[in-house]
Structure 1
Amino acid sequence: MATAASSGGVSDHQYVSVKLESLRLAALDLAPHLFGSHPAAGSWDPSKALPMERAAAAIWELSCVLPSRHETLDFKLLLKAKDDSSECIVEEGPNRPLGCGSNQVEMTDAVFKLTEKDSLECKVWVETEMLSPFDLAASWKAHQENLQPSRVRGTYDVVMNTETEARDENDFASGLELDLEKYVVPTTPNMGSGVVYAANLTENPRSLSSNNDTTKVILHNSLDSPANHYANTKKDVDGRHTPSQEEQKAVFVDRGVGSPRFARPTNETISTSNIKQDSEAKLGMPAAEGAVAAAAVADQMYGPKEDRKLVIVLVGLPARGKTFTAAKLTRYLRWLGHETKHFNVGKYRRLKHGTNQTADFFRGDNKEGVEARNEVAALAMEDMLSWMEEGGQVGICDATNSTRSRRNMLMKMAEGKCKIIFVETICNDQDVLERNIRLKVQQSPDYAEQTDFEAGVRDFKERLAYYEKVYEPVDEGSYIKMIDMVSGNGGQLQINNISGYLPGRIVFFLVNCHLTPRPILLTRHGESLDNVRGRIGGDSSLSEAGEVYSRKLASFVEKRLKSERTASIWTSTLQRTILTAYPIIGFPKIQWRALDEINAGVCDGMTYDEVKKNKPEEYESRRKDKLRYRYPRGESYLDVIQRLEPVIIELERQRAPVVVIAHQAVLRSLYAYFADKPLEEVPKIEIPLHTIIEIKMGVTGVEEKRYKLMDAVNPTAEV
């Protein structure tokens, strides 16, 4: 939980909330209580213990407000029989201390010994937060005016949604059918449910397009793609945005101040983006802000010329996860706003020499084969350097690059033009290697015409053996070694001679990546009262339709993740997401300030018609460029993307499923990362109400599935 500002004065108070969760306890004839060293908690007298109120089917809660400078007190939880309060079971282990003057959320386990052979385990959350008298007054006023659960700095004012108390975990009164597949709806065109060989999604070779008919067909298909990524801007050969000469002169660092209600993330990041140098653009673009922004500007404008462009050269034996790593890194850097392209040398080889090469082509003593492979590696590097001269920032060279001579050739080509960092992927897990080899043979165009799958596996292993004979690990220049990182069991990350803003971000990203398959469920909150009124922002509660969706969502999560007890539920700190998550039981819930909706600043609480009427200049500026437009004293989409970077890193790090309940602008930004959408498309992505987007992450890449649980009564698409 983000730390709230507090004066720390005598007049401040400490809000304390203790929650206990247990599915099994709901079926027992026992009631949880709290007692402790303070007289208000019974002075360790079980008969004076404070009862915890049932907040949901399997959640009990006790909250209170204490003076900020109270003495440290100890407490424990106990269970009392409902029909005989004299008998009690005290939790095992030491006392729980409660200090003063701190803002934190702590999650632990509580164990109650029911019999000699039977114990009950429960999850316990202890939340403490410093509140001023103004906070308490505002909280009470909101409750009195609205008679709705409201939030002040992440603090619950009342116990919510008592209807869930009577809901049995197997009673789906929401009307959701048992077969979840009946709710599946079509996905977006660019990220469907099919598996695509990652190397096929890399850059199309420019240097081979003039004399290869196959290349011409691929390029034609790319340009005729239905998604117009960058309207009215110059495009390069594959349809992506190529900055003009004027754009290349500008370094735009967008790190917005945002609003005081948004806590700055610990790891502040920035994004560079090309802008037009006309007067309108200059007026509409914010300046760099903060020490991190200044460091990035220094890297870009005052560092050595070759440091302004970066080439990441993958190194490793086949089937070690190089292309997977390159694809994830490309997607991440593009999402942050860095012009990045992924060049796969294998794609160049197949276009120039065909797909029917046997293992002999890859022998180290096959002079013609070595020359042919070095030739296509040089062609890929030449294309990359040409693209960088046109404005590209980060190029990723995806190949084995397994010998020093090959790497020296690349370094010589890049000398004085860009900085090179080698990323070597090493895997010693034989089970992982066997799986990767079989996936490679199954998906690679090299074996598309091979009818005997096992013969293809034998041929690939023979190719691998030839590479192993000549392989030379990286020990030169700047490098990052990923050792057994893809196995999902930890691994090591070794770095050498890595410095600068962007290389540091790359290291931080790679250390959190893994291949463990798991779903991520994205959904907007249920319809809110402000959705009904058509108002921007706010912190309203749910409408009747929104409450219905919250119950349907709880049923869906219970069914979809019934075997995933390590899953977690993430929400923003705004009550419409918290209320949507409230009926979900059995999973820990985490609130992220970074998941709060885009801050509309002075327009917060207005309708779009009111903005158009009262602030026509703001309305028109936003209409022209929703991506970069920043609400006065608010945020832009680029600001939202920057504050979401810690969320993306944590989603990459997670090995268990995550349900993210958030807002339209936030989910557009998150979805754009997984779908590798250009930044210009982010404000246009469709994220409908009452629909769940399931993102599957794993060794085969990213797949999507959508479930529509109910129609939206008042759909909104403006934010």
Structure 2
Amino acid sequence: MLLQPFRGRLTNGALSISTLHRNLVALGATGLVVAVASIVLRFSRKTSRSRAESRPLHLSRSGSAFYAVNPINVVRDRVVIAMVGLPARGKSYMSKAIIRYLNFIGCPAKNFNAGNKRRNKGLAGTGAAFFGSGNAEAKRAREAMAMETLDDLLAWLQSVECGSACGIFDATNTTVARRQAVMRRCAQEDPPVQLVFFESICDDDAMLQNNYRMKLANEDYVGAEAAKALADFKERVAAYEAVYETIADDEADTCFADDNCAEHGGVGGVQAAATGGRVAAERDADARDQGDGASGADGDGQGGGDGRSEGGRVGETARKSPLPLHYVKTINAGRKLVSKECEGHVLTHALTLLQSIHLVPRRIAIVLAGQSHNDAQGIRGGDTPLSSAGLKYARAACQLALDKLAAAAETPTSTGASASASLPANAPTASPPSTATAPAAAAAAATAAAPVVLTGTLQRYVQMAALLEPRAQLVLNLKPLNELCFGALEGLRCGKLQDSFPLEYAARLADKLNYRYPGVGGESYTDMIIQLRDVVLAIERTRADVIVVCDVAAARVLLGYFQGIPHADIPEIEIEQGVIELARSHSGFSCTHTRVDVGTANSFVKR
């Protein structure tokens, strides 16, 4: 109140001398002191704020480290997966899926294909006669190339410095003799590796014919006439069928480690023999103490001399212990799954993936979330609704996603039902158009074609899900799909991290994948990858089309998986506003992006 006469005019410099004199007289001496003190205090606070904003700040890191640690990089688990099965049974498809998923979760994984080894040696285009069981020379060449491929795998597996790793031996491995050779070779590794056979069996004729057609695209049939190429390939399959032996529990009963095996022979056999000799010697000493000459060294020869023979028997038993057999059988692309003694960190993840993947055609649309109110003001994080520009973009992007999925679902063999959908004007409360006049089959087809919507729990996601809900068969709000949490830096204005928190800025710049934002709830990209594993598996399991609404960080992680992008490159993936469409292909997922220029999407593309 004391400063009321001065308000506005002091700051504008428009207070005349006479007016100032009248106001000072009115205030008196006490009022003058209070007024001046108030002005000084306000100036001091303003100056303090200015200095605070310009002074670098430091956050306590006592409760959390700068970087996240992925458990799979700590647990040592080295695994060899040896594929088993006739050609065109989905072995390469399955191995590529496992490689993609393991690399995504941070486990180094690599495929070693025996067919590629053959082609690299100049044997591409080899006819079916090369694969016949009666061709002894070709058989020796095939075996040599297969074991050379396995040696390459084992050398790579042992070169991984720490944590878990998995190599896939992608070959037919259709005979017991070949599999036993693989078992003996892997048993020689030190440190040891775990070997598991993955057998792919397929007796679905329609699936086989489709697989045969896809095989004609490989390097063996470049430039060949389709009919002749198909006939040659089927002849090759018949040659493998003639000697094919499916995996059986008893096939390892006759498989023993070589003497130089690190696990079951070599040093172990010598130690066992020494142990046997020591036991016999102790027994003889006890017998002498008891005065039993018949059992002593000078008796009937069953004393010390028998110690050597007993040691030999113990060592022989150690060497002759059968090697363990671990296997997984998948029938008709995962319709049935059988596993035997498959344990460990890596195999648990691989089996979980095999239970999720399928060959049903479908598409996945990733829609970048619209601009929120905080986003419009350049403020990190928070949970505010869509801005006006964000809502415009959300309508356009959601409509585009629905249109693209509907167009892809329309095939020449459809029942005539159109899966096309359009957003009503009041989408959040609107109902889908009546299908009372449509045939029951068409209504069922339209329902089956409706997508599943996955999104986060923040307000902007809920608003966008409401735009899609009338045309979706299911909407799931999942916390792992929320944007990366900035922890104690939530609310910081964009561009202020380097000036205000230089240590945090430098730490993030050094390792964007593992850098974890400070404070309660602060996350890293590694944290997001771990959290989104279940979401990825849910998308893989879904038979219908899927629409994912998310912000930049989650979109990067999902693209990193579906596109097989190296782990360390995920934080650098460029994300533009619009719709990213993924479609399954033989080698994985193809990707197309359609930009939406209406309104504004999330702008923190450089996070």
Q: Does 1:667 align with 2:546?
A: no
1:497 matched to 2:341? The reply is: yes
On the 8 A contact 1:479/1:498 being kept in 2, the answer is: yes
Residue matched to 2:567: 679
| Residue 358 of structure 2 is aligned to residue 472 of structure 1 | no
Alignment of 1:568 with 2:340, yes or no, is no
Q: Which structure is larger by alpha-carbon Rg, 1 or 2?
A: 2
Aligned: 1:412 with 2:299? no
Instruction: Give the structure 2 partner of residue 350 of structure 1.
Output: 119
Match of 1:538 in 2: 382
SS in 2 for 1:424: strand
Q: Distance in 2 between matches of 1:327 and 1:675?
A: 12
Q: Which runs of 5+ in 1 are unaligned?
A: 1-257, 260-282, 301-307
Identify the residue that residue 447 of structure 1 maps to in structure 2.
Answer: 221
* TM-score computed with the length of structure 2 as normaliser: 0.66
The whole-number CA distance in structure 1 between the counterparts of 2:91 and 2:512 is 36
CA RMSD of superposed structures (Å): 2.0
Q: Contact 2:370–2:600 at 8 Å: present in 1 too?
A: no
User: Matched residues in 2 for 1:700 and 1:329: separation?
Assistant: 12
- Equivalent-residue separation in structure 2 for 1:332 and 1:558 (angstroms): 28
Alpha-carbon distance between aligned partners in 2 of 1:387 and 1:712, rounded to the nearest angstrom: 50
Structure 1 position 597 matched with structure 2 position 483: yes
**SS in structure 2 at match of 1:705:** strand
Residue 367 of structure 1 deviates from its aligned partner by 0.8
> Shift of residue 718 of structure 1?
2.3
Q: Residues 519-553 of structure 1: CA distance to partner in whole angstroms, max 9, x if unpaired?
A: 10012111222222222211111122211112112
Any conservation in 2 of the 1:549–1:580 contact (CA below 8 Å)? no
Amino acid of the residue matched to residue 571 of structure 1? T
SS for the counterpart of 2:134 is coil
Q: CA deviation at 1:516?
A: 1.2
Match for residue 359 of structure 2?
A: 515
Q: Which amino acid aligns with 1:463?
A: R
Q: Which moved more, 1:580-589 or 1:458-467?
A: 580-589
Query: Which residue number in structure 2 is paired with residue 483 of structure 1?
Result: 331
Q: Given the superposition, is the C-alpha separation of residues 673 and 286 from structure 1 closer, same or farther in structure 2, using an over 3 Å criterion?
A: closer
- Once the two structures are superposed, residues 600-636 of structure 1 have per-residue CA deviations (whole angstroms, 9 ceiling, x without a partner) of 1001121243333332211221122111100113111
The SS at the match of 1:319 is coil
- Aligned equivalents of 2:453 and 2:200: distance in 1? 33
The structure with more strand, counted as a fraction of residues: 1
The CA deviation at 1:426 is: 0.5
**What displacement does 1:693 show?**
0.5
Q: Which has the higher contact order (CA 8 A, sep 6+)?
A: 2
Question: How far off is 1:425 after superposition?
Answer: 0.4
CA contact (8 A) 2:106 2:567 kept: yes
- Which residue does 1:707 correspond to in 2? 594
Among 140, 145, 149, the residue aligned to 1:371:
140
Moved more, 532-541 or 652-661: 532-541
Q: Deviations over 1:358-407 (max 9, x none)?
A: 11111112111111111111111111111122117210111111111111
**Does the Cα contact within 8 Å between 2:66 and 2:518 map onto a contact in 1?**
no
Out of 455, 471, 487, the residue aligned to residue 586 of structure 1 is 471
Match 2:156 to one of 379, 387, 396? 387
Q: Tell me if structure 2 keeps the 8 A contact 1:565–1:586.
A: no
State the 1:711 CA deviation: 5.8
Match of 2:514 in 1: 628
Where do 1:108-507 residues align within 5 Å?
A: 284-286=66-68, 293=71, 300=76, 308-391=77-160, 393-417=165-189, 418-441=193-216, 443-450=217-224, 452-475=225-248, 476=252, 477-485=325-333, 491-507=335-351
Q: Deviation at 1:287?
A: 5.9
Distance 1:368 1:675 in 2: 41
TM (norm. structure 1) is 0.56
Q: Which amino acid in structure 1 is aligned with residue 557 of structure 2?
A: S
Match of 2:34 in 1: none
Report the alpha carbon displacement of residue 517 of structure 1 after superposing the two structures with TM: 1.6
Measured in 2, the distance between the counterparts of 1:623 and 1:455 equals: 56
Does structure 2 conserve the Cα–Cα contact (< 8 Å) formed by 1:314 and 1:396?
A: yes
The structure-2 alpha-carbon separation of the partners of 1:625 and 1:296, relative to structure 1 and needing over 3 Å to count, comes to closer
1:550·1:581 contact (CA, 8 Å) conserved in 2? no
Deviation at 1:515, TM superposition (A): 1.2
Decide whether aligned partners of structure 1 residues 565 and 550 sit closer, same or farther in structure 2, where only a CA change above 3 A counts. Answer: same
Tell me, what secondary structure is at the counterpart of 1:470?
coil
Q: Deviations over 1:129-162 (max 9, x none)?
A: xxxxxxxxxxxxxxxxxxxxxxxxxxxxxxxxxx
Task: Work out which of the residue numbers 537, 543, 547 in structure 2 matches 1:649.
Answer: 537
- Verify the 8 A CA contact 2:73 2:107 in the aligned structure 1: no
Q: Deviations over 1:662-711 (max 9, x none)?
A: 1111110110001111111111101122x110000244531111111216
CA 1:495–1:646: 2 relative to 1, 3 Å: same
Aligned-partner Cα distance in 1 for 2:346–2:399: 43
The one-character-per-residue Cα deviations of 1:275-297 (angstroms, maximum 9, x if unpaired) are xxxxxxxx644467xxxx5x995
Letter in 1 for 2:222: A
Checking the alignment, whether the CA contact within 8 Å between 1:567 and 1:657 is kept in structure 2 is yes
Percent same amino acid among aligned pairs?
A: 33
Provide the secondary structure at the position in 2 that maps to 1:606: coil
Aligned-pair CA distance for 1:561: 3.3
Structure 1 ranges of 4+ moved more than 4 A: 711-714
Residue 582 (structure 2) pairs with residue 695 (structure 1): yes
Counterparts in 2 of 1:549 and 1:608: CA distance versus 1, 3 Å: closer
Tell me what 1:118 maps to. none
State the alpha-carbon separation in 2 of the partners of residues 340 and 558 from structure 1. Answer: 36
2:401·2:579 contact (CA, 8 Å) conserved in 1? no
Q: Distance in 2 between matches of 1:547 and 1:518?
A: 28
Do the aligned partners of residues 482 and 650 (structure 1) sit closer, same or farther apart at CA in structure 2, a change above 3 Å counting? Answer: same
Q: Are 2:484 and 2:553, in contact at CA under 8 Å, matched by a contact in 1?
A: yes
Partners of 2:211 and 2:126 in 1: CA distance: 20
- Structure 2: which 5+ runs fail to align? 1-62, 253-324, 407-418, 420-447
Give the 3-state SS of the residue equivalent to 2:173 in structure 1.
Answer: coil
Cα distance in 2, alignment partners of residues 322 and 432 from structure 1: 13
Cα distance in 1, alignment partners of residues 604 and 574 from structure 2: 10
Q: Quickly say closer, same or farther: Cα 1:427–1:708, change in 2 above 3 A.
A: same
Alignment partners' CA distance in 2, 1:566 and 1:541: 26
Pair 1:313–1:712, CA change in 2 (3 A):
farther
Which amino acid letter does the alignment assign opposite residue 176 of structure 2?
A: R
SS at match of 1:607: coil
